Amino acid sequence: MTEEPRADYILTLSCPDQRGIVHAVASFLLVTGCSIVDSQQYGDPDTGVFFMRVHFRAQEPGVDLTALTNGFAATGTSFHMQWQIHAAEARMPMMIMVSKFGHCLNDLLFRHASGALPVQIPLVVSNHADFRQMVEGYGIEFVHLPVAPDKSDKAAQEARLLELVREHDIELVVLARYMQVLSDEVCKALEGRIINIHHSFLPSFKGAKPYHQAHDRGVKLIGATAHYVTADLDEGPIIEQDVVRVGHGMTPDQFVAAGRDVESRVLSRAVAWHAEHRVLLGSKRTVVFP
């Protein structure tokens, strides 16, 4: 007799911190015929919010995503939870947006092709046509959505952008050095599911040529910041940051090269963590479960 394959799932939740949350979750999984593979939780003392991520495995036949979602609803309501259950093996549909710097795009495409990112990438969108050949070389659709210098067509361009998100059931949008400021309407529509890579270690050296600013100031560390996009430019909740050591003997171009390497690493980690449902959003900051 062939044994029915077991399926893994991820439960994420946040709610007002109170006694009994972990017990209620564990009890639900026990009576549903599931076993816990990994569980992480954090109670934020500043906000009084409790965060939890549980990787669990269905051990009984007939336990699927629909049954789990319907069954957990009462527990979620009783604790005033914001919660989701996802199939652990599902690959999140992701759209990449890029302009004229391709290092982060190239890194994400390679990691995706090699199976290192738990995502699927149906399309890449750009306001320039520079990377069409690169993208199509990976067998991915390239969509050119230019923006006029006077921004007169920006509203129409963004409307088409949101249409593409809906058409492809996109769950995550990644700005891989996309150099157009998105409207408040787009930021709101994609809230919590759009990630940007900022080419400096926020909040220092904002604006143009951050690596040149860093070079002029004689800094010894430069870095990059991946964060969720909000209407407040470069002020969204931070997901990941990293730095690289530099020295006085390096030129600005060498600063840029080092910065591009760290940008690619930081963005790929942020994308992977989001796709694995390891990032939970609080009011102003994230909780990231490793």
| Active site amino acids | 234
Radius of gyration of the chain (CA): 21
Distances (CA, A) of 14 to 21, 55, 160, 229, 282: 10, 15, 33, 21, 8
96: alpha, beta or left, given left = phi > 0 and alpha = psi -120 to 50?
beta
Report the b/e string of 173-183 with b at 16+ CB within 10 A.
bbbbbbebebe
What is the Cα–Cα distance from 209 to 141, expressed in whole angstroms?
A: 31
User: Please, is 277 exposed, middle or buried when counting C-beta atoms within 10 Å of its C-beta (0-12, 13-18, 19+)?
Assistant: buried
CA dihedral 52→8→279→14, nearest 10 degrees, is: -30
Distances (CA, A) of 23 to 35, 179, 217, 237: 14, 47, 53, 30
Report the b/e string of 57-66 with b at 16+ CB within 10 A.
bbeeeebeee
